[in-house]
């Protein structure tokens, strides 16, 4: 059986909350939490999957807090036997990378430097 591949066909950032304190030090430690929910089509032939993903990133002292929530539609090249496995191995990492790159774009618009968290994962 060939390996299942996925591509992002649609994305929507539902919510973006970014707080960066004026007192944020140059060096800080970040923690990241990622939650995802997946919905499949009722049509058994449909190879698209909707992934709702929430990223929470922050420093321990809460001088930096960021929350991103997004809906991402993936198209799979074939239907998987185990949707949870494909979500863990492919979909969530792809969605997380896309969101972290979008976060970098938002930070630049706000006047900050990119954090490049997607490359550091």
The domain that holds 14 is classified in CATH as 3.10.420.10
Q: Is the residue at 113 inside a domain? A: yes
pLDDT tens profile 1-14: 568 999 999 999 99
In a domain, 99, yes or no: yes
Within a domain: 112: yes
Q: What tens digit of pLDDT does each residue of 42-87 get?
A: 998 899 999 999 999 999 998 999 999 999 999 999 999 899 999 9
Nearest of 65, 63, 72, 62 to residue 97 by alpha carbon = 72
| Number of domains comprising the chain | 1
Does the residue 29 lie in any domain?
Answer: yes
Structural domain span for residue 17? 6-120
| 1-5 contact pairs (CB < 8 A, 24+) | 2/77, 2/78, 4/76, 4/77, 4/78, 4/80, 4/86, 4/90, 5/76, 5/77, 5/90
């Amino acid at each position: 059986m060939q390996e299942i591949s996925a591509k992002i066909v649609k994305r929507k950032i539902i919510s973006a909350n970014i707080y960066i304190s004026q007192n944020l030090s140059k060096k800080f430690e970040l923690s990241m939490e990622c939650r995802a929910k997946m919905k499949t089509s009722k049509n058994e032939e449909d190879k698209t999957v909707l992934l709702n993903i929430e990223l929470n990133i922050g420093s321990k002292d809460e001088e930096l807090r960021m929350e991103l929530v997004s809906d991402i539609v993936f198209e799979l090249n074939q239907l998987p036997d185990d949707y949870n496995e494909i979500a863990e191995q492919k979909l969530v990492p792809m969605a997380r990378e896309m969101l972290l790159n979008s976060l970098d774009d938002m930070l630049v618009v706000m006047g900050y430097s990119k954090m490049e968290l997607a490359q550091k994962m």
